[in-house]
Structure 1
Amino acid sequence: MDIEKYISSGILELYVAGLLTEAENREVSEYAKSHPEIEKEIRAIEAGVLALSKAASPGITEKSRIEQLWATMDERENKPVIKMEKPRTNWFAYTGWAAALVLLAGLWWVYNQNQELRTDMQTRVNEVQQLESQIEAARNSLVQTRELFNQLRDKDVTIVPLSGQQVAPDAYARAYWKKDTQEVYIDAQGLPEPPPGMVYQVWSLKLSPLTPTSIGLLESFATDDNKVFVLPNANETEAFGITLEPAGGSESPTLEQLYTLGAVATS
């Protein structure tokens, strides 16, 4: 703990003035017990405030003198009346009160500045934490992207282009089939976002006779930035197709909603 910095922060003046919260008062008391320098500074501030308070208390010396003079005049009625000067204003007392008010105003200003500083520091801490979270998320996303590229670049991956069909001629997709792990990566970047209540469904197809088998749905399509989905595929696939189906998928493909289709190249 930086003792000098703590003392110069103005919190001890606020402590003496009684402007801190209960928790802050306890904190200062604990620091004062542990650090003699802080205790000494508190005593010095208290002594200064007491000195100002004493200076602000009007004295009784002038008043006593006036009363004594009037008593003397009563005893000496035959003597000429002595004209008394008007008591002088005790400017020192007023100055003391003014100094005390200035001190309190200064303490209040320091208190407000201290609160603003704490609020600003907390805001900065929150911003740093948010930035750290964003950096961590970006780092994780980068790691996942690298792993994905490594998977797709595997020499044993079968790449199947899926071209747009009548319902969506401009649509396209690509399937990366890893037979050894029985997985297929669907790159759906070329598909339009499905309307509410609808979902893309991927099919493994046998061509003779045409036998479709669902291998999964492209869930969370709108929120997936990469638009790459991993689905299981243990089938002897001859082609892949993607249809637009009601949420939850269908037992069989809706051919009128066939968006993309592509055949697996024969060896």
Structure 2
Amino acid sequence: MENLKAYIESGVLELYVLGDLSPQEALQVQELASQHQEIRNELAAIEDALEKYAMQNAVQPAAFVETKLFEKLGIGADEETEPVLIPSLPQETKIVQLENHSGKVKTLRYALVACIALLLMSTAALFITYSKLTDAHDQIASLNLDKQKFAGVVSKLEYSNQGLNNLVQMNESKEWATIKMKGQAISPQAKMNVYWNKKNKNVLINYLAMDLPKADAQHEYQLWAMVNGKPVSLGVFGKTDSTSKEALLKMQAIQDAQAFAVTLEPMGGSANPTMEKLTVMGGV
């Protein structure tokens, strides 16, 4: 047995596999292999190792090698070789058992229905909320409009009350002279009062004590004082529907006057009265 182990480790078997032994030495290896299983196993292991080494270190041959090889074998490069059919072994059909997901599908279906129902409820709630907000907005807008109207009425009442109080005070005062002016040819129904203070010579007009035709956007009224037959401008004032916060409007003071008159003039007034537009006039 020791001699057999030494023989295996001597390297003779490797040379046999490589084909480097003489015919006599190769015959001796074959005889020993037929007698001993260990040698046969070692030869198989050497062949397997050499095959693996060859596969790992294989080099791709050049293209012309194939042509020359076919020429040596007497086979044309264009000839088709008959394919070798290798019968396939029947494979056992593998049956994969599918899990039963019916319970999960049913749960997901219920969840989907619940989500859709929640979405519909949320949409309805949003619509109702939006409708209520719209109604509230309309109510607030209506209240603001009513508030503005009420404020306008109150302002007008305060305006009228102030004008009436001023009229009463000036009529009761001995310092104020009331000059009543009557309508002229272009507006016979027109009328207006001028209040002239005899002491300080101030001149006031009261919008509540006038009834003049409405002027257009290009004209306004101008007050005149007749002094020794000559007209003196006391200033311009707005329309009879003036939006001034004060019912009374102070005009320019005049020291002496025999009469007062109002004409319709272009915006900004005129240096001399337009007699064709004489609206009202009254003597002191």
| TM interval, short-chain normalised | 0.5 to 0.7
Deviations 1:155-196 (A, max 9, x none): 124222211222322322222334456232244742212234
Q: Which amino acid aligns with 2:220?
A: V
Q: CA deviation at 1:228?
A: 5.6
Q: Flag the structure with larger Rg.
A: 2
Q: CA deviation at 1:201?
A: 0.7
Per mean C-alpha deviation after superposition, the further-off stretch among 163-172 and 253-262 is 163-172
Alignment of 1:198-209 (within 5 A): 198-206=219-227, 209=228
Match of 2:231 among 189, 212, 215: 212
The 1:148–1:179 alpha-carbon spacing in structure 2 relative to 1, beyond 3 Å, is farther
TM-score by length of 2: 0.53
Matching of residue 147 in structure 1 with residue 167 in structure 2: no
Q: Cα RMSD (Å) of the superposition? A: 3.2
The 1:113–1:142 alpha-carbon spacing in structure 2 relative to 1, beyond 3 Å, is same
Q: CA deviation at 1:250?
A: 0.8
Contact 1:152 1:176 in 2 (8 A): no
CA distance in 2, matches of 1:144, 1:227: 7
The 1:212–1:177 alpha-carbon spacing in structure 2 relative to 1, beyond 3 Å, is same
Alignment of 1:63-82 (within 5 A): 64=99
Deviations 1:57-77 (A, max 9, x none): xxxxxx6359xxxxxxxxxxx
Partner of 2:264: 244
Contact 2:159 2:247 in 1 (8 A): no
Partner of 2:19: none
Contact 2:210 2:240 in 1 (8 A): no
Alignment of 1:1-267 (within 5 A): 64=99, 93-154=108-169, 155-156=172-173, 157-179=176-198, 182-187=202-207, 189-206=210-227, 209-221=228-240, 223-224=242-243, 230-235=249-254, 236-264=256-284
Deviations 1:204-255 (A, max 9, x none): 122xx30221112122555549996513242123211011112211112122
CA distance in 1, matches of 2:133, 2:103: 49
Q: Which amino acid aligns with 1:260?
A: V
The 1:190–1:137 alpha-carbon spacing in structure 2 relative to 1, beyond 3 Å, is closer
Contact 1:160 1:175 in 2 (8 A): yes
TM-score by length of 1: 0.56
Contact 1:215 1:231 in 2 (8 A): no
Identity value in percent: 22
Contact 1:205 1:213 in 2 (8 A): yes
Contact 1:189 1:227 in 2 (8 A): no
Q: Which has the higher contact order (CA 8 A, sep 6+)?
A: 1
SS of 1:170's partner is coil
CA distance in 2, matches of 1:145, 1:128: 25
CA distance in 2, matches of 1:248, 1:165: 23
SS of 1:153's partner is helix
Size of the aligned set, in residue pairs, is 180
CA distance in 2, matches of 1:65, 1:227: 92
Contact 2:224 2:261 in 1 (8 A): yes
Q: Which runs of 5+ in 1 are unaligned?
A: 1-62, 67-86
The 1:65–1:124 alpha-carbon spacing in structure 2 relative to 1, beyond 3 Å, is closer
Q: Which amino acid aligns with 1:64?
A: E
